[in-house]
Amino acid sequence: MTLIVYFIVFLLLLIASTMAFHTVLPDFDKLRLSKRFHDDLGAGRKPPSLFTTFRLPILLFEDFASTLQLPRKRETWAKGLQALGLEQLVTVDQLIALRFTLVVIFSIYGVVLAQMLPFVFALLFPIFGWYFMDLWLRDKVRERKKKILGQLPFVLDTLTLSVEAGLEFTAAIARIANQMDPSPLRDELMIFLRQMQLGTSRRDALRALGARTDITQINSMVTALVQASEMGTSIGVALRTQSEIMSAVRFTEAEKKGAEASQKLLIPMMIFIIPAIMLILLGPTFLQYIYGQGL
């Protein structure tokens, strides 16, 4: 009789634990799909390592994150993902789920370090875990825009020469993108080409390119190309004009940075160089005054 009771208790515990795991863990079909994050536009990109490393916790919190009503924050995070070029790879719900994951991880760190640090500092760990993604997004967006701006003049000059030589605009972009090394600008060009292949008009694809990158120079180029297409003017002329404008802007920015560099040098000069010069010039005189003898 005792064995029967133990067997029933064991069976009930097994059923309860199975139901608990089934409730907590995501379904296996979703888990298998999560192992291959993919870009629907075929740019051959992968999500950042943060999202692949914490893939399982993201799946655990994703359903809960989808129930949160945060319209303004969701819009802000969606724009951040778009500016980072991840709108086809990562959803806002997955971003929120990663934030909860980081809060849990940093909370554990806070509990572990609570014995060595003041309690107030231990409470800052989960807060930092929540805002870490904002800092990460801002830094990655700034870095991505800097890389795009660094490659844009060369790509624009090459595109201008290709179009002026008689190559069609889309074919010229495809030729340039295929010869480029992996970079954010190449990813954006590949997305533009794939949108064209899926039936999007060139005007809409160009505007989507400007909206994704959110860079003034690219938006100016997109506006000029759209106007050239609508008015029937030469795209080569529009590209040449944009190339000249961009070269002038780069020259102006270089002059500005050069002027700022001279001002920034004043602080280390006042702290390090001028005291050394004064020591060399006035040191012998000061010693002669103290000891009353020449050197």
Using DSSP, state whether 41 is helix, strand or coil: coil
Backbone torsions φ then ψ of 188, nearest 5 degrees = -65, -40
Contacts of 140 (CB under 8 A, 6+ apart): 48, 84
pLDDT in the model for residue 292? 67
Check: CB of residue 295 under 8 Å from CB of residue 287: yes
User: Residue 293 has what pLDDT?
Assistant: 55
pLDDT at 127: 84
**In the chain, what are the domain boundaries?**
146-251
CA 276 from centre of chain: 44
Burial of 159 (0-12, 13-18, 19+ CB in 10 A): buried
Check residue 183 and give its pLDDT: 86
- Predicted confidence at residue 68, as pLDDT, reads 81
Stretches in the chain below the pLDDT threshold 70: 1-45, 114, 117, 119-121, 292-295
Using the Cα atoms of residue 203, residue 204, residue 208 and residue 211 in order, give the sign of their dihedral: positive
Give the C-alpha separation, 15 to 94, whole Å. 31
What pLDDT score was predicted for residue 88? Answer: 75
| Full-model pTM | 0.70
Q: What is the C-alpha separation between 202 and 225, in angstroms, rounded?
A: 10
pLDDT digits (tens, 9 = 90+) for 72-113: 888 888 888 888 878 777 888 888 888 888 888 888 777 777
Q: What is the rounded CA–CA span in Å between residue 105 and residue 113?
A: 12
CATH number for the domain running over 146-251: 1.20.81
Q: What is the DSSP string of 4-30?
A: HHHHHHHHHHHHHHHHHHHHHSPPHHH
Structural contact between residues 295 and 288, judged by C-beta atoms closer than 8 angstroms: yes
Torsion sign (Cα): 112, 95, 148, 175:
positive
CA of residue 190 relative to chain centroid, distance? 18
pLDDT digits (tens, 9 = 90+) for 24-46: 444 444 444 444 444 444 445 67
For the chain, how many residues are written? 295
Q: 59, 31 in Cβ contact below 8 A?
A: yes
Q: Where are the alpha helices (DSSP H) in the chain?
A: 2-24, 28-34, 49-53, 55-66, 71-83, 92-113, 119-164, 169-179, 184-197, 202-213, 216-231, 235-264, 266-268, 274-291
Phi, psi of 99 (to 5 degrees): -65, -45
